[in-house]
Structure 1
Amino acid sequence: MSGLENVKILFFIKRTKLTKTGDATIFVRITINKERTEFSLKKHVNPNNWDDKKDRAKGRSPEILELNEFIDQYQRKILSYIDFMILDNQTVTARIIQEKLVGKKENRRTILKVFQEHNDNARKLIGIDFAPDTVQRYETSYMHTKDFIRWQYQREDMALDDLNHQFVCSYELYLKTERKCAHNTAIKYLKNFKKIVRIALANGWMKKDPFATIKFKLKPVDAVYLTKEELDIIINKEIGIERLRQVRDVFVFCCFTGLAFSDAKSLKRQHITTDSNGITWIHKKRTKTDQMSTIFVIEAAKKLLTKYKYEPELIEKGTVLPVLSNQKMNAFLKEIGIICGIDKPISTHTARHTFATTVALENNMPLEVVSKTLGHSSTKMTQRYARTTEALIKKNMVKIKNLY
């Protein structure tokens, strides 16, 4: 008897589908945890010689005895596979047992094959339907999924039909424990994976949705932004290391303009214009959403553009600022925060929140204007970036402090 109690093995024939000689094909149905698979044994029997109750051939002829011995051995083989996998702490499913018995079907749809196909198509659509960073997130999600399948199931890939509610729950646990992902980060990776599942469901490659009873909920996160005093410290700090000075300049430019990291990195000379009144503007579609940002460039930001105007490397690339990779920028910003005595987890995205809160709203810029500058499709998105600070409360409440 197998180490699993919820295993059922049934041998049967389909009496309505006979061969040209009138024989019936013998099938085996394996059910494990209410999931089942069935396939042919490539053996045949006269339907009159099959006992449906005993799921064996009936009779005492040498051919019948040999056939029943084959079926008995096949059943023992199935049970031995199950016992070995349980002892080896492997996941046991009906489909996995089928694969071990008859081999993999090369043309069947698998999780990683469908995921990779999606990512390949997304890469071709960069600049059309996808931003480069979005494609990179799907690539990272693919690698996490691949590593999880290896870690949890000791396999290189899995059939789409093997996806179930338990798979998703285990994957979430893996991301949070083994990969040390924060809750919101884990949920974003699972949402990427959910898109692959939706593609499989839409194409009829899967019958059941493993996400059917699962609802994702992001935890509210207080955005990190710099106060006016903290921003002044970073602006005026004497920094002797060239790479840190450049990172500081790019960060401060984003604080003055509200540009996201990817948009600052891809900012080119053709995005910057000067109107008839001598006012400098940035008109640029956001890399992430394709929404247009319309940015009035203040004098402090213009000085930073002028500082790097004649850098040969930037002229050759057609860019205007010495922007490093996001990973390096964030690492160096941590150093700058320590140098400046600012006890906050500063990142490239901190600049965007600082613009919305400290530079814009605290200086009475209307929310609608802030929204257009940030390239948001609605002011609801902008409200997530901007924070009502003590300075802003004070500025408005001082008007009525002597009213009564």
Structure 2
Amino acid sequence: MASALETLCGQAFGAKRHHMLGIYLQRSWIVLFLCCILLLPIYIFASPILKLLGQSDDVAEMSGVVSLWLLPMHFSYAFLFPLQRFLQSQLKNFVTLWVALVVLVFHALISWLFVYVLDFGVVGAAIALDISWWVSFFVLLGYVTCGWCPLSWTGFSMEAFSDLWEFVKLSTASGVMLCLEFWYYRILILMTGHLQNATLSVDALSICMTMNAWELMIHLAFFAGTGVRVSNELGAGNGQAAKFAAKVSVAESSLIALFFCILIIAFRDNFGYIFTTSSDVIQRVNQMSYILGITILLNGVQPVLSGVAVGSGWQAWVAYINLFCYYIIGLPLGFVMGWVADLGVTGIWGGMILGGTAVQTVILGIMTSRRDWEKEAQKASQRVNKWSTPNPDDQTEEQQYT
């Protein structure tokens, strides 16, 4: 839901309505904090929920204990994620990078302290996570509020409580858009768990999905960068510059994806040894490497197009597209290829990729290429005017001049 700030803050920054960025940030904090409260029952009643879903009692009970200890981290998300988007939209990525690096080292130390020295076990790991996430937030908050963002942070404002419903709608559309995609690949693992010889299939799929996740991090960077660049250019009224940024991002990301796709295919017999020495698992990974290569190729395009959508404010449209492609086309096709055609995990994954991700990528590509980017710039200008108020400093200067 915090990705709504990539649209609003990015376009406001491009339009030089810098003072609105802090107000958008505070609105996001309010909305996401309320959503955290709504999600509390899932954490509090994690054990009975997991038992209802068929999880073993031991795992369900331990998960329930850990979920309660993770509540502080749960609430930290509502404050840290918007803060990261707030800085990202102002091209202050290196700030979040260095803070993340320092906190990573700090997290390793306190994890060792709580888990091994104090012998708190898995609860200690949860406490370490709580502390690290909140430290990240307070460090970034100090950076923002102590003078390093003088134009975009002008202090806390009651204006943050206005237009909350409109903000909720855009945030919800952003959240649904991304959740439909993330959940899609989690369902792939769940479906694989119901196959015959599921342990072998899940082992091989886990290796492939881990490789995919590592490579996907590169393209998620393009997703974030494209969203910011497109929103900045549209906010500034430069529709053609936004279009050019989208083209460059797709081209660069696709070339990187092609390189890794070739790498995976070339070393398909060997990369599984990073994770296991089981010959059966290695053989299954080898069989699935071609589907992994196709997935990596799609990674080069799909996240970038999603970044264009976020930067342009198309989240609601993309949410419908994701619902249609992933859950109406992809999942049924994966079921048919996996069970009816008896292709196993390769069929499930192949059906979900070809029927879901590939179709979604094509639709987003057509949608992006056929847009009138000058009109998109006008829409961004209208959105900025609708969601923002004039800068009080500008009004004061104008009155003095008059």
Higher helix share: 2
* Higher RCO (CA 8 Å, separation ≥ 6 residues): 2
Tell me the TM-score range normalised by the shorter chain.
Answer: under 0.3
**Which has the larger Rg?**
1
Normalised by the size of structure 2, how large is the TM-score? 0.22
